[in-house]
Structure 1
Amino acid sequence: MKKKVAIAYNLPKPFGEGNCEIEFGSIIFRGLKIYLNHQDILGQLMTGLHTQPNWGCRRFFKQLDKNNFEVYLGQTTLILSDIEATDLCLCIDGVCQEYKKLIIEFENTLETWDFEFVKFSESRGFILFSVRQELWNLMQQFANEFDYTKGKSEWHLFHRHNTSIRVSRGIRDHTFIFPKIDKNSPLLPNNQINIIYELNDVNLQLLDRGKFTSWQQDIGVRGTWTARYTKQWLLEKYIPKVINYYSQKSQISEAELLATITNYTSDRTLIQEIDNIRDLAPYLRDIQSWLHIYIENISGSLLKAYYQAYTNLVRNTDSSITGIDYIVGNLRRIEWKNTQEEILSNITDWKNLTFKYAIDCLDKQVARINNCEYENSLNADLITRTFIWIIENGKISFSQAQLNGAKQVLLPLWEQSRFEMRHVYPNR
């Protein structure tokens, strides 16, 4: 049969935006073209990829009856048949898979995941750390004095680009840094200014016109710097050089200037390196926060191994664990669809409130998800809350195989939550 839907699209570039145009081939919609911008693609189309229209996993679908769906695309609402809806999903899956792949590739290559994304005025970038106004002034002064047009020493690396400091040899830029200054409030609280990493549009244009087959080939110390390397270079080389240079010419205290730096670091252990079970909790909290605001159903394939691995991990928990009422309340709420308080008030046999009973409930959830194509996000939220509580409050005996299995299934689920919290939900 002739396909009912076609999508023409432009993929995003680093820090840039893409778009797409959807065209329908049926007689009713012939000639109709719907344009979606970057925010529409991320906010409307990106969730529920590779799921069936009738599973309730895609936020732009509403099933009207067995054979018809109401579809919301940008500002346009359509009624599609099940065949048209299926074709639309297949097209969207192909486009969004490439779209998502590129965005993740940008973040991985530029090493930006650990930094907060900010966008204001004409600038976009990531917060590396913050400094006091006095130190930023010296950083700008040093950059002006050591402009690459004024000398050839190893420190003649800079050029002012509007409010940014451009780190360059004059041939190819390494990085751009700029202060986050609001016109209405020039300084952040406590006289602090955020230092932002920016891959400037000027730099991107040079990369596009260059001899490299892809922009990634220019990433490195001799080319375009990543966010992580830029931060390291600023803190370990540039700022110490600036402080040392000016402290010799004035009464500025080196110790006082260094104390003005507020460094944003993560104290998490990398998932692959976790050997203390409690180090899993911060990642599970990220997943739980994502599930808590997730309004659609979730594909069961994302959760089956997760439910099983973490049930196995916490299976041998000491029966003296506190909060057994909280654990059972969460799990029975999934079965009874009541609030935790209503469930606990209706339980007459309190002797059943044991950890063995809780594990039996978890095993039922594992069996249930194995027979489901999709899962209610509230159920996944409650089960994740249960895992977090047990890991943080229980004395758990577990094998290395159980821990490794839990880490293995955690990574893709956490990366999914990280991507959507970063790129999908801000566009809704």
Structure 2
Amino acid sequence: MKLNKLCVISCAVLVTTAIVTALSAAQPAITMTAFGALPDGRAAQLYTLTNSQGAQVAITNYGGIVVRIVVPDRGGSMADIALGYENAGKYAAGSPYFGALIGRYGNRIAHGRFTLDGKTYKLATNNDPGGIPCTLHGGNVGFDKVLWSATPLMEKDAAGLRLHYVSTDGEEGFPGNLDVTVTYWFNNANELRLEYSATTDKATPVNLTNHSYFNLAGEGGDTILSHILTLNASKYTPVDKGLIPTGEIVPVAGTPFDFTTPHAIGERIDAANEQLMFGNGYDHNFVVDRDSPKRSGDLVKAAEVYEPMTGRAMEILTQEPGIQFYCGNFLDGSNIGKSNKPYTYRTAFALETQHFPDSPNRPNFPNTILRPGQRYETVTIYRFSAR
């Protein structure tokens, strides 16, 4: 997909509740609609990107949340495969990060602290698995809970949305003013492309990702245990009972974590394995394999998921060194989704492209420190198909 010669649609044009911008009926379109009010009274918007096939991705500027992903099955029937809510108020009231844009630091930082250039920083601690406190997904008010400025974009074969936010020095305990831009593109090949970019005026950890929950048979449906998963990862990072990496990077061979060949998610999920016990199932970071001469910045295929009943498939390509596989172990039916059905135990999975959890405290892990004069840039692509 070419990203040059962008036609930026002025937000001033978006004055009605729903505006479709398209070059013709056979090309992508953007629709903006009201998405409800936040607790402080501010209004959120929903931007629906529709491609020439009629497939859709809907994103709200509240939290950069992917609200809907509507793609066809093998017979051409469309269904929404992403968990979420029907308005911004419900996300603000409480969500296990459904579809959220995550930052400043995706995943966990042990004990809510790290030392950088001789100074120790104390972060908000908002998670305590195993009774061990940590910072999860940016803290109490991460990027998933802020209102981003939004600019719709249009290309010949793709509709897009550019989101911008400045995280101020000291926000949630992190140093530096972090200027962040995230751009979503949805093209005619049913590819959702996420482009992340950031700069800072002080050294700070940065690890941005998206936390969409998927059920390729349709959100609000049965468990995802029959989905077939392949991970391009011959190693993973084991965790302690607080779900913090131990610092080891170990082979998956001979363990229930070996998805280098296709396996049903539920095939070994209840095996007698300490790591599965800690996560109540899979909730682990896998190290993406990169064949030489693949460089760390090259896009490589990290994962593929196939749902046999509908034929829907999803591939994930990324520049990131890791991918977190989580299989909805903490969904308990208390979240009622868009289909007015409860999201219950293991009815969705997440595959979050990322740097490794707790990297600021693990010098042997890939570096996550962004410094002044540098630019953080990374790309992840979700490619949807059916067979």
* TM-score, normalization by structure 1: 0.26
Q: Larger helix proportion, structure 1 or 2? A: 1
Structure with the greater alpha carbon radius of gyration: 1
Q: Larger strand proportion, structure 1 or 2? A: 2
**Which structure is richer in relative contact order (CA contacts within 8 A, separation 6 or more)?**
2
